[in-house]
Amino acid sequence: MRKIRLFFIVCLIIISAHISVNAAEYKDVLRVGLSYGGSAKATASFSSNADIDIYNVNTEEYIATIDPGTTFTLNAREAMVQCDYFESVTDVVRIESTDTIFYNGKEYRGAFEVRNNGDLLRVINIVKMDDYLASLLGKEMSASWPIEALKAQAVCARNYAITIGGKHSSYGFDICAEQHCQVYGGVSSEAVSTRRAVRETQGVVVTYEDEIVPLYYFSCDGGYTENSEDVWTAALGYLRGKKDIYENPQYATRYNWSVTFTKEQIEDILYKKNKSVGELLDVVIEEKSENNGVIKLTFIGTEGETSITKSSVRSYFNLYSNTFTIERHKNEAEEEETAYPTLNVLTGSGISEIEKPSYVLSSNGLYEISYDAEEEEKIEEGFDSYTLNGHGWGHLVGMSQWGAYSMAVEGYSYKDILNFYFTDIEIAQNVVVEEEDKTEFVTDNEVEIEEPTEEELDAEAESEEFEETENDGNDDIQWSDTGL
């Protein structure tokens, strides 16, 4: 047992004797950045249905108590956090209540820390891991999804939250609440089912080679997942691409997709990225991964050629995934004039048009009208538009959320799901967190939550309309910067 900075003691009881998890790795409380950097504002309002106590974070001294039901506004002013309800004494305050706290009208569990940073307020929600996860599941999946899929997602998100440290350390928190990290929405996205999924996977972490590892996920793979090195850089043994025999196209969104770009649209995108090739003549997939993802895409133009690789392909063209084939088109009128010149031969019954592949007998012998010759001519002229026919939504590394949904519908457990999408992992149901000291801030303010019955769960699943979000799991272009 050892003390960690958040004043919790983490005690590991090894149930699976061969799995060893470093206690210091485990996090029971997360600091979630709600407002920072570009999203920071000069004011922030708070209220609660119980007393709110305000503390000076620097000195740990008590500052004030705000009555239940009173909304108060914090202002960033003169390098301090100021408020009409108390004397300003510090640049950073902590806000606690025994009930949930409303920040700008939105309800959250846990405590808040508000800091004046350049006369803008950085707002951090300090929340228990399980409360964080119960909210996240309603955002990253949907409360109406099968329970085993929600449980697989809970484990992925816990692993990720534990291992992500450093991505936002310069801002003083562990993880942001947006798609850049994982989507978290406070109390409003919790449900009976998401609470149950968290409870039934409490303390479960996934290890690979005895380390807790980040478990990546995405919406839909369209048939194949990808190797980590084919999407990012590092080849990680637990992130191996594979044929997905479970993901069901009937459920999955964007299992197949198609998008068409005109030549001008592509020229415009390349120009804006300082990669202009003049007039665009052709777009060629130069390199593919073993699981069909486009690794290198080359653009050929009148002034040269340029290539983009991996995640740039998705981000430049705002594609659902990197897995696609290209159909090249010429406008019909032009095709008749230039791409497919008509050849005629004189036959016994008059002049007749010949079809390819064909040969004509000329004075020099048999002459082949070759496909390649036509192709070269088309490339010289250039194509007018390109249709990308693709599969999947996201970076396709790790767990497919729609695949997890499909497996859960088929009766597989969350462990089956994790073991399918991640290679050579161990699932350690062995991390027990004990509170020894009272924390310096109140996070244990959740209202009483009753155990749900199966009937309640079914009713909830029926009543909830599944909202398809743009959420791509952990996917975001920033993921290419995570050191993988």
Stretch that binds Zn ion, among 76-84, 169-177, 207-215, 246-254 (CB under 5 A): 169-177
Asked if 278 and 266 count as a contact pair (C-beta separation under 8 A), the reply is no
Q: Which is nearer to Zn ion, 176 or 215 (CB)?
A: 176
Asked if 130 and 151 count as a contact pair (C-beta separation under 8 A), the reply is no
Q: Distance between CA 127 and CA 443 in Å, rounded?
A: 6
CA dihedral 75, 79, 85, 89 (to 10 degrees): 160
Q: Distance between CA 245 and CA 280 in Å, rounded?
A: 39
Q: Does 177 bind Zn ion (CB under 5 A)?
A: no
For the bound state, the minimum distance from the C-beta of residue 178 to Zn ion, rounded and expressed in Å, comes to: 6
Question: Which token pair is 169?
Answer: 């350390």
Stretch that binds Zn ion, among 48-56, 103-111, 177-185, 382-390 (CB under 5 A): 177-185
Residue type, 53: D
Residue type, 437: D
Say which residues have a Cβ less than 8 Å from residue 357's Cβ, sequence separation at least 6: 368, 369, 370, 371
Q: Does 101 bind Zn ion (CB under 5 A)?
A: no
Whether residue 357 has a cis bond before it, omega within 30° of 0: yes
Q: Does 176 bind Zn ion (CB under 5 A)?
A: yes
Stretch that binds Zn ion, among 170-178, 229-237, 334-342, 432-440 (CB under 5 A): 170-178
For the bound state, the minimum distance from the C-beta of residue 176 to Zn ion, rounded and expressed in Å, comes to: 3
Nearest to residue 150, comparing CAs of 158, 365, 389, 228? 158
H-run or E-run covering 153: helix 147-163
Stretch that binds Zn ion, among 151-159, 176-184, 388-396, 427-435 (CB under 5 A): 176-184
Q: Does 288 bind Zn ion (CB under 5 A)?
A: no
For the bound state, the minimum distance from the C-beta of residue 478 to Zn ion, rounded and expressed in Å, comes to: 7
Beta partners for 114? 93, 123
Q: Does 172 bind Zn ion (CB under 5 A)?
A: no
Q: Which is nearer to Zn ion, 96 or 113 (CB)?
A: 113
Residue type, 325: T
User: CA 359 → CA 344, 369, 373, 471, distances in Å?
Assistant: 11, 6, 13, 55
For the bound state, the minimum distance from the C-beta of residue 121 to Zn ion, rounded and expressed in Å, comes to: 18
Q: Does 32 bind Zn ion (CB under 5 A)?
A: no
Stretch that binds Zn ion, among 52-60, 105-113, 175-183, 219-227 (CB under 5 A): 175-183
For the bound state, the minimum distance from the C-beta of residue 174 to Zn ion, rounded and expressed in Å, comes to: 9
For the bound state, the minimum distance from the C-beta of residue 32 to Zn ion, rounded and expressed in Å, comes to: 10
Q: Which is nearer to Zn ion, 183 or 427 (CB)?
A: 183
Asked if 177 and 33 count as a contact pair (C-beta separation under 8 A), the reply is yes
For the bound state, the minimum distance from the C-beta of residue 470 to Zn ion, rounded and expressed in Å, comes to: 16
State residue 396 phi and psi, 5-degree precision: 70, 20
Q: Which is nearer to Zn ion, 120 or 176 (CB)?
A: 176
Q: What residues between 362 and 421 interact with Zn ion by CB under 5 A?
A: none
For the bound state, the minimum distance from the C-beta of residue 167 to Zn ion, rounded and expressed in Å, comes to: 6
Q: Distance between CA 386 and CA 283 in Å, rounded?
A: 8
Out of 57, 86, 180, 469, point to the residue binding Zn ion (CB under 5 A): 180
Q: Does 40 bind Zn ion (CB under 5 A)?
A: no
Q: What residues between 145 and 164 interact with Zn ion by CB under 5 A?
A: none
Stretch that binds Zn ion, among 150-158, 178-186, 320-328, 454-462 (CB under 5 A): 178-186
Q: Which is nearer to Zn ion, 37 or 357 (CB)?
A: 37
Q: Does 181 bind Zn ion (CB under 5 A)?
A: yes
Q: Which is nearer to Zn ion, 32 or 461 (CB)?
A: 32
For the bound state, the minimum distance from the C-beta of residue 156 to Zn ion, rounded and expressed in Å, comes to: 16
∠ at Cα 140 (139, 143), nearest 5°?
60
How many residues form the binding site for Zn ion (CB under 5 A)?
Answer: 3
For the bound state, the minimum distance from the C-beta of residue 473 to Zn ion, rounded and expressed in Å, comes to: 13
Nearest to residue 310, comparing CAs of 397, 390, 391, 231? 231
∠ at Cα 476 (105, 259), nearest 5°?
110
Handedness of CA 35, 193, 397, 427 (dihedral sign): positive
Beta partners for 260? 387
State residue 358 phi and psi, 5-degree precision: -140, 165
Q: Which is nearer to Zn ion, 180 or 329 (CB)?
A: 180
For the bound state, the minimum distance from the C-beta of residue 296 to Zn ion, rounded and expressed in Å, comes to: 28
Residues that bind Zn ion (CB under 5 A): 176, 180-181
